[in-house]
Structure 1
Amino acid sequence: MNIKAVIAEDDFRVAAIHEKFLGNFKGIEVVGIALNGKDTMELLDKHNPDLLLLDVYMPDQLGTELLPSIRKQFPHIDIIMITAATDKDILLNALNYGVEHYLIKPVKMELFHQTIEEYLQKSQLIESKQEVDQDFVNQLFKKSSESNDTKEFTLPKGIDEITLVKVTNVLQSSESGLSAEQVSEQIGASRTTARRYLEYLITVKECRAEVVYGVVGRPERRYYKI
């Protein structure tokens, strides 16, 4: 999965931070940064991206004022608003145009990470199905707060959410499966730690394992994201 993203943010320093942050996610490529409304529309027309991080307060036009044109010209683009705007009418306007999420500055990195992670999971879920059933719809529309609350209370001792997300991302990026050693190298942790998280993912049915044999016949346990 390759998601093209555009960042529309009038502060170039903040835009650079967002670009660097998105670079941590495999499968997301930032194809352009716009500092105003005019440049935003030009970048969307040029790249036809999948995702737009959109600020509200830009020098020439409000981000919410762009929404009608964006939805008309790019009906399938996903939009996450990141803004200091706390006006209720602005929020309602954003919701009416199908904005995926609305993050109020200053945004905590944990919330930013969680939002992008949920967006990627939703995108992967949609990509995985050609036909839908009620279970699929329930997964697609489940409330993020409910899933996060459940995760917070069910994570066992020795399993923290940040590392768990890292391990999950690594597995999602590999179709051929990974060993605990390969996962440990990619997340920057010991093999023992990686194996602990991988085995936990198996218990919650988000991962499966198979024993494969190498050239010299030594068995190796490989993990696959479900």
Structure 2
Amino acid sequence: MTSIPVMIVEDDLRASYVLENTINQHTAFSVVAACENLAEAQLKADAFEPELIMVDISLPDGNGLQLIQGLKTRHPHASFIMTTAERETKTIEQAIQLGVMDYLVKPIRMSRVQQALNDYLDFKQRLTKQEKIDQQDIDALFRKQSATDNSSRKTPKGIDENTLETLTEHLKHIDNTPFTADDIGEAVSLSRITARRYLEYLEAQGQVTMTLDYKTGGRPKQRYSKVL
């Protein structure tokens, strides 16, 4: 299967690196270009023809929403996801009117990026699997969910309640020194990848925070801290 080409438009190099690394971890996507401003983005969009474009709103030479308006004319088949710290309702309304697929608020969690990518894949698959679709699939495309779809499950798919309880209980008894997914995995007998998934869930719940340690001599390392 050919990877879906992605372009990143982000002037913060650290944020761009984290975003690129997260996207490239997904087997269905690959970053083909990364840009720091509107002018560069317009040139690289023409050169690489990305299918999915991640766009920050605040850029050195203009506004990301303006970039989307221009690119939609020249690249009508491209889809867009906003990555921004802006939370004003007017800005969000403009993004929705432009037809963006998702809106990720900084600081962006890796798990939220993965969710956005999976949602995009699901959207594409529902549109391409057959010529006509029923109301249920249409509702899913427009992110509507009926009351009958609600579950009594307290945690999302991939997060086991017992494992989560074990992990959170362990966190209660450690000091405030930053830790890694490897540390947690070793302590509660989880793989590094599984431990990181649970830590990302706890980050989303506001129970831990994640920072990048650039003093590793190589790739930055994710370190987590308890929220006191």
TM-score by length of 2: 0.62
Structure 1 residue matching 2:34: 3-state secondary structure: strand
For the residues of structure 2 that align with 1:144 and 1:75, how far apart are their CA atoms? Answer: 28
Residue in 1 aligned with 2:94?
93
Letter in 1 for 2:100: V
Give the 5 Å matches for 1:173-188: none
Alignment size in residue pairs: 163
Residue in 2 aligned with 1:107?
108
For the residues of structure 1 that align with 2:32 and 2:158, how far apart are their CA atoms? Answer: 40
Residue in 2 aligned with 1:7?
8
Letter in 2 for 1:138: D
Letter in 2 for 1:48: E
For the residues of structure 2 that align with 1:145 and 1:114, how far apart are their CA atoms? Answer: 20
For the residues of structure 2 that align with 1:82 and 1:156, how far apart are their CA atoms? Answer: 24
- Is 2:141 aligned against 1:140? yes
Structure 1 residue matching 2:136: 3-state secondary structure: helix
Q: Structure 1: which 5+ runs fail to align?
A: 161-186, 190-226
* 1:151, distance to aligned residue in structure 2 (A): 8.2
Residue in 1 aligned with 2:216?
none
- Is 2:64 aligned against 1:70? no
- Is 2:84 aligned against 1:83? yes
- Is 2:104 aligned against 1:116? no
* 1:146, distance to aligned residue in structure 2 (A): 8.2
Letter in 1 for 2:64: G
Residue in 1 aligned with 2:42?
41
For the residues of structure 2 that align with 1:3 and 1:18, how far apart are their CA atoms? Answer: 15
Give the 5 Å matches for 1:13-52: 13-52=14-53
Letter in 2 for 1:11: D
Letter in 2 for 1:85: E
* 1:154, distance to aligned residue in structure 2 (A): 7.5
Residue in 2 aligned with 1:128?
129
For the residues of structure 2 that align with 1:78 and 1:4, how far apart are their CA atoms? Answer: 11
For the residues of structure 1 that align with 2:157 and 2:49, how far apart are their CA atoms? Answer: 42
- Answer yes or no: is the 8 Å Cα contact 2:54–2:83 preserved in 1: yes
TM-score by length of 1: 0.63
For the residues of structure 1 that align with 2:119 and 2:156, how far apart are their CA atoms? Answer: 18
Structure 1 residue matching 2:11: 3-state secondary structure: coil
- Answer yes or no: is the 8 Å Cα contact 2:68–2:80 preserved in 1: no
For the residues of structure 1 that align with 2:60 and 2:146, how far apart are their CA atoms? Answer: 34
Q: Structure 2: which 5+ runs fail to align?
A: 162-191, 195-228
* 1:118, distance to aligned residue in structure 2 (A): 1.5
Residue in 2 aligned with 1:221?
none
For the residues of structure 2 that align with 1:104 and 1:145, how far apart are their CA atoms? Answer: 26
Residue identity over aligned pairs, in percent, reads: 27
Query: How far does the alpha carbon of each residue in 1:49-90 deviate from its partner, in whole angstroms, 9 at most, with x for none?
Result: 110000011101110121221121112211110001122222
Change in 2 beyond 3 A, CA 1:155/1:27? closer
Q: CA RMSD in A?
A: 3.1
